[in-house]
Structure 1
């Protein structure tokens, strides 16, 4: 039988509708009668009728308000409105929010029967799978929140607190294992909350959602802490493997989906769970007290590369740890940002290797980025890139085995650090402890170009970076990269790149 409820603040109207139609012949059972909107709404949650015939104007909640909340909660009860007000706006609102029809009082039998038959056809189509939503591929079959909301209507005046619960997998786990773990956690939470009459739990698009009734702010933390303790004992799940995002409390069930969406927007932070001391986040509140800056990222990145080049294990390890933390802070829950910062570091190291004349990594950069994007967690991401950093350090170590190779690497590194100064062949030869005449031929033999050309190439590389990333004047850039004569800089730039520095900047920024 198809279940149906009737709601009107005038009992005579309800009786009249019951006499107007032979509901049994249509296969319809009346499972509830209500005289106000609030009780009708609660009745829909508890009785789960297929059809609801509602008066537009009722005490406590209007019919339109009931329909809005049902749609917000994803409850698919077919709603028919009746009203004594012949006002187009009410009919428009009713149909806008998904009512099947809008009937005027006194209700005409033929119109009601026709509308009921339309509802029956819609229900049959829904049952046959038309317009249904597919099962989420990575979670147990979902009943959806609507199936659980009936347990919340016991309290007349109530506040609700949505809490998104996430399972934080610390290792690679298969799809089937994840389904089993999620099912265990869902069952555990359902029993925990029901035993204490604290609220409900349900699955929403693969996410576990708890809704607590009449939450006390100071008690929420203790509640979650006791849930973690109980889960560790009963499910043998370590505390670090469950995370929570506490939403903002709301005054009606219709507001729960909006509060849930606020929680959902923060789930990206759980990718960085290894960097979060307490896995309890609060919607709308900052996760980290002090965010990182790009300048801090650049400074520590340079320290990491310098430790790598100098083969200073402690400096390298300390910088890698600081870089790991800073990238987490600046990413603010965005996985792609973390991939970008680590990926940019690989590019910078490759450029440095080219400067030193050392072969870089044989792996394609796009393949490294693809590996990064597939990482399950920030721990996996940092493990991937720190493995590459160590490989780069080993390549430098092998490259400096011969004293000749070591000297040319030292020379190139010195140029990279001092290109902006009045760097002469004599100064560099003194740094390498060679006679200037011998050093000149030594440098050309090992670099394939003379000292002056190589120095200018390094200066131009840094000049281009300043041209495209700053608004500094050409003369200031020339001075900053080591040219004492801005005209000489412009002439050399034009000879190498075929256009003036200002034209180059304009073309790159506009194109």
Structure 2
């Protein structure tokens, strides 16, 4: 804390400096001034909490100083030090809110008692000020949320409660039930979210500040966040004869600050805010994105063309996916893109229909391949330019990428399934090599066709099943041949051959020598 002593007599200033117990009350710095004029300059610069001042001084006296302190609304506590027991001075001190009045010569005990009470009172009031400030901050933070929720309720229902009507009337001087209003929707661009690292609160705060600075300057409107939509700011205008001009001004201001073109979609002027919102929503959903840049879109720009449905092309898309043909997929997608550009309306509604139906088809196709819980493919909202305008080229690239990714996923899973079934067959051969295994038996055991097993087994292991089984049997027999007490025909039977001569023929074909020759060489090498 700081204090200042304002007195034209040096010995008085020095006396207060010596007599006051500054450290005890928490004052760490004490300033000095010789008159009211110098005192005002130091008070402005240092903002002391405690002010000691004489009443009779040259230039600006104590009364002039008190008037100035009172006019500034400062929180300082002023203690008068005077050699005059003058009612005029006393009355002025009381009138301008001084804390106390001490007569010279100064009594040490009275000085410190007064100083301690002044500091305590300042601290007490400062605590109240801080508490009030915190309360106001909370109110200021909560207030916008309150109005966001209240106005969101207004745009969604025609019948408004008397309480809601009164609240709006009191806050905005607006008869929300009968006044003719125009409502517009400002969709928050996806790329703007990206610029602010996905912090929606910051994005909405920035946009709402820009809009409200324009519409609330003349009490002609309000903008608020539609709490039931992730990406909608609502602009409600009244007392605005040229609504298009006002909305274009908002568009320009947003572009000036964030360099992004945020098209605004205006509903009909009406006494029912909910009706105006519904008409604005229709304008937003049906506006043709290929129509080019537009600052404000009205019902006049709504396109009546129908929407394209991916479900109508489900079978064609599925065949291309199953064949794994990107060329075939490109032909189908190109046809769809041309239809979007010429026969249908590429709008926000169309984008939503495409996304919903793509996810439905994707879900069904994955289930056919028995794929569950797989990470979703990137859904592609990256078809916007940096300035916020729609890019048909980016849209086409993104949609193509989604189908390519799905095709690669299905092909990979299909291959893994095929590989897994063939691996199971290989394990089966290793475990049952000694049996008389026929291809038909394997097909029936694994519920697969003989042709498929033969083809896929050779693709994976590069040999036929017959040759693979023969290799397993011969390798097993080599281990048995190391035992000199076992007969050749016993070994042949043990590994699955009923005919000793056929076994020897197969063994020689694979190893280049007969079983006896192999045994002899192995035995000679060991001894």
TM-score where L is the length of structure 2? 0.35
Larger Rg: 2
TM-score where L is the length of structure 1? 0.36
